[in-house]
């Protein structure tokens, strides 16, 4: 997560760093692959790098960003 400034805003707003699944589902490439948010949540649950909330409505990184990660991302955005 967090390859765009748009996603970074959501990560920054949530105290736990979650992003709504609906936001991820809104990306064109994701829309082409999945038909529903629940399908996307199921697919994301198989990732070792992401955590999906129990209710399946939010997703976050397993390992939060370090300061150096954030600096690198800001340089790319």
Locate the domains of the chain by residue range: 5-76
CA distance 57 to 2: 17
pTM equals: 0.81
pLDDT over threshold 90, residue 71: no
Q: Which carries the bigger pLDDT value, residue 12 or residue 1? A: 12
26 contacts 70 by C-beta, under 8 angstroms? no
Alpha carbons within 13 A on the beta-carbon side of 77? 14
Give per-residue pLDDT as tens, 10-60. Answer: 988 999 999 999 999 999 999 999 999 999 999 999 999 999 999 999 999
- Sign of the C-alpha dihedral, residues 46, 54, 2, 72? negative
Topology classification of domain 5-76: Arc Repressor Mutant, subunit A (1.10.10)
Most distant pair of Cα atoms in the chain: their distance: 36
State the pLDDT confidence band at 4, using cuts at 50, 70 and 90: confident
pLDDT score recorded for residue 77: 63
Phi, psi of 46 (to 5 degrees): -80, -10
């Amino acid at each position: 997560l967090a390859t765009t400034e748009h996603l970074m805003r959501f990560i920054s707003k949530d105290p736990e760093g979650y992003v709504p699944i609906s936001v991820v589902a809104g990306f064109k490439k994701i829309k082409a692959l999945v038909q529903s948010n629940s399908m996307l949540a199921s697919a994301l649950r198989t990732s070792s790098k992401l955590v999906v909330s129990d209710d399946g409505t939010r997703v976050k990184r397993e390992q939060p960003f370090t300061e150096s990660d954030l600096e690198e991302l800001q340089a790319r955005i």
